Amino acid sequence: MNDVTNSGPTSAAWDVLVVGKGNAALCAAHAAVNQGASVAMLEAAPQEESGGNSSFAGGVMRFAYDGVEDLKKLCDLTEDELKDTDWESNTVDEFYDDLFRVTSFRTDPELSEILVTRSLETMVWLREQGAHFVPNYRHQSAVVDGKRHFFGRMPMWMVGGGPGLVKDLTESAIKKGVDIFYETRAVSLIQDDNKVCGIKANTPEGSREFLAKRVVLACGGFEANTEWRTRYLGPGWDVAKVRGSRFNVGDGLRMALDIGACPFGNWSGRHAVSWERYAPEYGDLNIRESSYRHSFPLSIMVNADGKRFVDEGIEFYNYTYAKYGAEVLKQPDQFAYQVFDAKGAALLRPEYGDKNVTRMVANSLEELAEKLDGVNPDGFLKTVREYNDSIKKDVPFDHSIKDGRSTVGIEPAKSNWAIVLDTPPFEAYAVTCGITFTFGGLRTVAETGQVLDVHLHQIPGLYTAGEMVGGIFYFNYPAGTGLVSGTVFGRIAGEAAGASAVAEKSA
């Protein structure tokens, strides 16, 4: 790939244009080049902020695998790792069950079948494109009785997380001759009759037309667009923090809808997490993980009234974190506190120790109650007393499994990992809602990624991938599926667009 300036002719021709430069876009570019196509990428961000939401992703991957023999296709494992580790499994049926359950069985059957059944082979393909996998020891495993156990069905992680994945795919694409145009915001699709044949874009040097035989839109959702969030997600979403890229404002969706593309999926749905209360308005690549607050299953979460409002321990965080941010947003003044005692605090993820956290520490619950800014102290202390008294203390605590250590007689219940808050120091972390991406997208031909219009006719020359594919996620989201979905459908769209363009050129 060549990092191209915006000087030169007013138009240029490629076989395939890819709009965006995150994981899905990079996979589409690789797949198209592999078909023999010439490819250019149009990225709205400057180079140092490029990569879309993929640059903010944790880098864990949820794919179907039967056991360690499948994982050995992705990285080299030592004899000790093979011998001393329970690698768990995520069979096709288990992946289906998780995806169907968290989306309330609304996920599109054809898209979900492709996502699940092709996930492992696509991870192998991703490695062939230059990506690097390692075991996910960071957050998804624990040593129990001398043996390491994985939990959450995500044993693999991309080296360097999302930024590492973007870097690897970018470097390997450079060698394939893809052209990248940074600070180039696509603003409209160019059509010849009804066939999409290019993009009109704004560049630092002015408006420019980029012509191509096929166009792949892979430039994310609309989570960074305050007006669209309010329009589609509802009142209150204008004040949510944006966990990822400030450039994901829905440009690709708007361009496609402008020419009659069919909207599809959960347009009022979104991935939204518990996030540092005083985090920046948008994601900051310099403090990429410092605002994560994913250890909430070990906590009690209380609102301004001092009351709990969710079952913190109903599942591993992988299956609830993407919807609990919305629950925080519903609370008075859109904030909550995650509260731990010393036993729970010993198990916190590393980012809780970052300097960019709002943390209150006290040697008694009464002292902590006075430190919780905006929280009713009497309500908080009443909640803690009732919670402590309700715990099934005869059930042993084990954070590596759903341990059944629950509460009895309070609402909401806590289903697992109920820790009695009795050991100082006590810690509380202030959180609000951080939106990651939106679920609404475009209707496509699942096998090719070609975009359909409102009458379900294929729009000639137009494909899409990544967060712009509607119909996969509804209401909620199983962690690690976004990058895999972007890879699977990015590869599909790129291969179809590239092969079609090369065939047209040959003809």
CATH of residue 498's domain is 3.50.50.60
Domain boundary among 400, 435, 470: 435
Residue 9 to residues 6, 33, 209, 399, Cα–Cα distance (Å): 9, 23, 10, 60
CATH of residue 320's domain is 3.90.700.10
Strand extents, DSSP E, 342-408: 359-362
Q: Are 276 and 355 in contact (CB under 8 A)?
A: no
- pLDDT category at 139 given cuts 50, 70, 90 is confident
Greatest Cα pair distance, the chain, in angstroms, is 78
Residues 328 and 396 in one domain: yes
pLDDT surpassing 50 at residue 104: yes
Residue 331 lies in a domain: yes
- pLDDT category at 11 given cuts 50, 70, 90 is very low
Residue 71 lies in a domain: no
Q: What is the pLDDT of residue 265?
A: 98
pLDDT surpassing 90 at residue 132: yes
What own/partner pairs with CB < 8 Å and gap ≥ 24 does 189-196 have?
A: 189/215, 189/255, 189/256, 189/258, 189/259, 189/462, 191/259, 194/459, 194/460, 195/460, 195/461, 196/259, 196/459, 196/460, 196/461, 196/462
Residue 150 lies in a domain: no
Q: Tens digit of pLDDT for each residue in 245-259?
A: 999 999 999 999 999
Residues 407 and 446 in one domain: no
Residues 465 and 367 in one domain: no
Residues 355 and 421 in one domain: yes
Rounded percentage of the chain residues whose pLDDT exceeds 70: 98
Mean pLDDT on 203-211 = 96
CA geometry: angle 431, 437, 443, nearest 5 deg:
155
pLDDT surpassing 90 at residue 2: no
Residue 127 lies in a domain: no
Residues 377 and 399 in one domain: yes
Residue 467 lies in a domain: yes
Residues 391 and 453 in one domain: no
Q: Tens digit of pLDDT for each residue in 14-46?
A: 999 999 999 999 999 999 999 999 999 999 999
Burial bucket for residue 349 (CB in 10 Å: 0-12, 13-18, 19+) = middle
Domain boundary among 395, 418, 435: 435
Q: What is the pLDDT of residue 6?
A: 41
Mean pLDDT in the chain? 95
Residue 83 lies in a domain: no
Three-state DSSP state, 1: coil
Residue 306 lies in a domain: yes
How many whole angstroms separate alpha carbon 133 and alpha carbon 170? 16
Residues 321 and 457 in one domain: no
Could you list the residue range(s) of the whole structural domain that residue 427 is in? 272-435
Rounded percentage of the chain residues whose pLDDT exceeds 90: 92
pLDDT surpassing 90 at residue 172: yes
Residues 367 and 443 in one domain: no
- DSSP state letters, 399-463: TTS-----BSS-SS---S----S-SSSEEEEEEEEEEEEE--EE-B-TTT-EEEBTTS-EEEEEE
Q: What is the pLDDT of residue 415?
A: 98
CA geometry: angle 470, 472, 473, nearest 5 deg:
100
Domain boundary among 435, 466, 490: 435
Q: Tens digit of pLDDT for each residue in 473-482?
A: 999 999 999 9
- pLDDT category at 409 given cuts 50, 70, 90 is very high
How many whole angstroms separate alpha carbon 269 and alpha carbon 257? 18
Residues 419 and 280 in one domain: yes
Residues 360 and 299 in one domain: yes
- Nearest CA to 155 among 94, 227, 219, 201? 94
CA atoms within 13 A on the CB side of 72: 8
| Residue whose pair of structure tokens reads 């803690």 in the numeric block | 384
Mean pLDDT on 100-125 = 98
Beta bridge partners of 463: 216, 450
Q: What is the pLDDT of residue 10?
A: 40
Q: Tens digit of pLDDT for each residue in 107-117?
A: 999 999 999 99
In this structure, are strands 450-452 and 458-464 parallel, antiparallel, or unpaired?
Answer: antiparallel
Residues 408 and 451 in one domain: no
Please measure the distance between the N-terminal and C-terminal CA atoms of the chain and give it in whole angstroms: 27
- pLDDT category at 5 given cuts 50, 70, 90 is very low
Residue 472 lies in a domain: yes
Q: How many independent structural domains does the chain possess?
A: 2
Tokens of 289: 């993980």
Residues 303 and 423 in one domain: yes
pLDDT surpassing 90 at residue 377: yes
What single DSSP character describes residue 230? I
